[in-house]
Amino acid sequence: MIALVDYGMGNLRSVEKALQRVGAKVRIARDAKALSEADRVVMPGVGAFGDCMRNLENQGLIEPLKQFIGSGKPFLGICLGYQALFEKSEEADRAAGLGIFKGNVIRFPANSGLKVPQIGWNQITQPSAFSLQPSAFESCPLLRGVDEGSYVYFVHSYFPDPSDRGLVCAETEYGTRFASMIWRDRIFATQFHPEKSQEIGLKILENFVRLQTSR
């Protein structure tokens, strides 16, 4: 069973429908008990970093999320759920993230000449110097059956800048190259929205659903 975290900021229905389409049993999770009973967790989100962390704290979900992520069970963060894994964000300097990984969430450069937020389709590609992992794209379990250069759907103004470049399994170009997907053990996160990315997104979600739940 997948716990889909509801902290008042996710487009839960579209994520839930996409997960169900690839064969998942989904439960909306609003408290620690629901997380503790789950085989895996998906944390989506759309909105502001500060509001995200405040809502998680108000619902008593910060420590349960950290405990689940540390359990070795599969976890997937989407968009804001990806950004929350890091220490802090330029969007809300006083709000601490979950701190699972070192690094900050930063805004797209103002001088790029591109519209911010990035809204629409863009490519995910093999990291180059941005990652220490050889063939990181091909090695990531969630990208099995996904071609390098595939197009996925983005809606964001900010993106994480991981201190550990070895986390990065896909990157995207939008005025600058940024980490559009990370992976470490059973922790996965995407800046793009798999639930809005048609067949490519469904393949990524299917791969997540099919992951073994043991270490």
Taking only the tens place, the pLDDT of each residue in 33-61 is 999 999 999 999 888 999 999 999 999 99
Question: Residue 27's pLDDT is what?
Answer: 96
**Range 172-188 average pLDDT:** 96
Report the Cα–Cα distance between both ends of the chain, in Å, rounded: 17
Q: Indicate the pLDDT class of residue 148, thresholds 50, 70 and 90.
A: very high
Give me the catalytic one of 16, 91, 171, 195.
195
Question: Residue 131's pLDDT is what?
Answer: 57
Q: Please, are residues 117 and 157 in contact by the beta-carbon 8 Å criterion?
A: yes
For residues 59 and 82, give the distance between their C-alpha atoms in angstroms, rounded to a whole number: 19
Active site residue 193: yes
Burial 133-156 (b: 16+ CB within 10 A, else e): beebbeebbbbeebeeebebbbeb
Question: Residue 191's pLDDT is what?
Answer: 98
The domain ranges of the chain are 2-209
Give me the catalytic one of 52, 79, 140, 169.
79
Give me the catalytic one of 156, 169, 193, 206.
193
**Given a cut of 60, is residue 122 above it in pLDDT?**
yes
Question: Residue 134's pLDDT is what?
Answer: 64
**Given a cut of 60, is residue 125 above it in pLDDT?**
yes
**Given a cut of 50, is residue 215 above it in pLDDT?**
no
**Range 117-142 average pLDDT:** 85
**Given a cut of 80, is residue 169 above it in pLDDT?**
yes
**Given a cut of 50, is residue 118 above it in pLDDT?**
yes
pTM: 0.95
**Range 168-195 average pLDDT:** 96
CATH number of 2-209: 3.40.50.880
Give the lowest-confidence range in 17-21, 91-95, 122-126, 140-144: 91-95
Active site residue 171: no
